[in-house]
């Protein structure tokens, strides 16, 4: 089955709990070796030999047959068997919250040792709890078994922002909720919620759907819903060059892509339902029934040079402040329309936005050509990061490339600098389709049919006059 999935370009992640049925050989073996936690069915994650055993079981059962990653559930651990007991490392109370760190590290260390060029090159796990520094293990948190209700969606936004502000860049959720209504496949109100949830999820670190007791494949909700959700899937993939460049900064510079407004605009301390995606994109998802019915919502826009531009229409949403400088203290509240197929996305003036081709999966084809959308009204820069997408060469031998785009607004010039760096398999010859965004031009999901310039880039500095 794993091979069949790989043949259709899917990778398998298996749900594994760090507990054992008492009838299993795992439980009997680790109990005999005093590696279980206080006589419970959970292993002692603070015992180094127990961690090695925990990993070895999954190595045999999963990784040796090509399973790509583990979904490490219940890493609180569930039921708190360490409370008021000792662990191999000391007080269970003192160590309580680090169980997930120990468990995800056990898997990561084993993968890096035994599968250096495959699963161990960029280890990944999904887990229900987290601890300081856990991002180093390649483990992403998800927010647990949430309900498929509007209020849950609203609270997921603030939850994700608080998590990112703790310094952890990898967050995930059950889009659509884990607990769903019994009539989910025919309930039009739930369908609206599902569509809006995908639109929010497309601008979170991990984009994934999950539901308990459900067939969550998008075709189960009817052709209209399927089409809307596929549009959002396509949007997520088109944003890959921008998003991947941002996550390179997470890995190399301690950045976080999902950013509470206060991280970039210091007076916006109480905004919990909108955020920045990287430096340039303001995401304001529809998260209430009222806004969904109104097909619009209010958005707080910090004052920036040149203002903000609606991604879907190209319309300017605000103007620059009177002295022509960034006015972080000033905020303008505007109403943004949001029909069911559009979630409000506002792009900062001066943005050089890189959008990739349509894809069905990441490795289907290289990101070429790339559409470069320029949002005029201010100067701006963007660095396009690329690597081989699979190895650790980007980290260990600095094999990656950076291409800097510098937009000079007054001169109407886009300067594309010399490419810096290299990696195995890189595209030496690139096509950039460059378009200045205007009302109805260079907007929305689809590539602009008639860009201002189509240029061939071979790694040497060039100046494009628009």
List residues with catalytic annotation: 73, 76, 145
Residues 362, 345: Cα–Cα separation, whole Å: 23
How do beta strands 139-142 and 171-172 pair? parallel
Q: What is the DSSP string of 122-184?
A: S--EEES---TTGGGGTEEEE--S-BSSHHHHHHHHHHHHHHHHTT---EE--BT-SB--TTT
What are the CA-CA distances from residue 70 to residues 82, 111, 127, 181, 216 (Å)? 23, 11, 9, 28, 20
**DSSP summary character for residue 207:** -
Residues 307, 330: Cα–Cα separation, whole Å: 12
Neighbours of 379 (CB within 10 A): 15
**DSSP summary character for residue 114:** H
Residues 428, 255: Cα–Cα separation, whole Å: 28
Which contacts of 87-96 are long-range, i.e. CB under 8 A and separated by 24 or more positions?
87/37, 87/44, 87/45, 87/46, 87/47, 88/44, 88/46, 88/47, 88/48, 88/50, 89/46, 89/47, 90/46, 92/37, 92/38, 95/46
Helices (H), 33-149: 48-61, 92-95, 99-114
Helix (H) or strand (E) holding 310: strand 308-310
């Amino acid at each position: 089955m794993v091979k069949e999935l790989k043949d259709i370009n899917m990778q398998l992640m298996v749900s594994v709990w760090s507990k054992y049925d008492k009838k299993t050989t795992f439980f009997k073996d680790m109990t005999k070796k005093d590696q279980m936690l206080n006589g419970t069915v959970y292993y002692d994650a603070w015992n180094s030999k127990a961690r090695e055993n925990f990993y070895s079981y999954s190595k045999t059962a999963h990784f040796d047959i090509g399973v790509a990653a583990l979904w490490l559930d219940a890493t609180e651990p569930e039921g708190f068997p360490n409370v008021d007991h000792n662990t191999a490392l000391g007080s269970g109370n003192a160590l309580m919250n680090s169980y997930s760190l120990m468990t995800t590290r056990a898997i990561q260390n084993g993968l890096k040792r035994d599968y250096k060029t495959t699963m161990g090159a960029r280890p990944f796990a999904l887990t229900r709890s987290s601890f300081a520094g856990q991002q180093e293990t390649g483990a992403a948190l998800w927010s647990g078994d949430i309900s498929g209700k509007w209020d849950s969606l609203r609270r997921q936004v603030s939850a994700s922002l608080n998590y990112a502000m703790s310094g952890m860049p990898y967050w995930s959720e059950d889009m659509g909720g884990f607990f769903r209504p019994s009539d989910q496949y025919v309930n039009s109100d739930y369908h609206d919620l599902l569509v809006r949830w995908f639109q929010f999820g497309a601008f979170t670190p991990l984009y994934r759907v999950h539901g308990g007791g459900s067939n969550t494949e998008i075709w189960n909700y009817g052709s209209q819903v399927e089409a809307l959700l596929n549009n959002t899937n396509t949007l997520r993939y088109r944003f890959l060059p921008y998003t991947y460049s941002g996550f390179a900064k997470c890995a190399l510079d301690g950045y976080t892509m999902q950013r509470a407004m206060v991280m970039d605009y210091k007076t916006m301390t109480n905004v919990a339902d909108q955020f920045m995606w990287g430096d340039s994109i303001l995401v304001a998802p529809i998260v209430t029934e009222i806004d969904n019915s109104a097909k619009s919502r209010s958005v707080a826009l910090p004052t920036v040079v040149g203002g903000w531009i609606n991604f879907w229409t190209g319309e300017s949403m605000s103007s620059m402040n009177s002295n022509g400088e960034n006015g972080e203290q000033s905020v303008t509240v505007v109403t943004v329309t949001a029909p069911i197929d559009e979630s409000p996305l506002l792009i900062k003036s001066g943005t050089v936005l890189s959008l990739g081709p349509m894809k069905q999966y990441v490795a289907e084809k290289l990101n070429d050509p790339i559409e470069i959308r320029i949002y005029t009204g201010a100067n701006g820069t963007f660095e396009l990061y690329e690597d081989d997408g699979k190895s650790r060469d980007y980290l260990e031998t600095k094999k990656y490339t950076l291409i800097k785009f510098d937009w000079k607004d007054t001169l109407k010039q886009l300067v594309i600098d010399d490419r810096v760096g290299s990696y195995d398999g890189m595209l030496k010859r690139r096509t950039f389709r460059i378009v200045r965004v205007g009302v109805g031009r260079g907007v929305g999901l689809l590539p602009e049919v008639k860009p201002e310039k189509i240029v061939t880039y071979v790694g040497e500095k060039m100046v494009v006059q628009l």
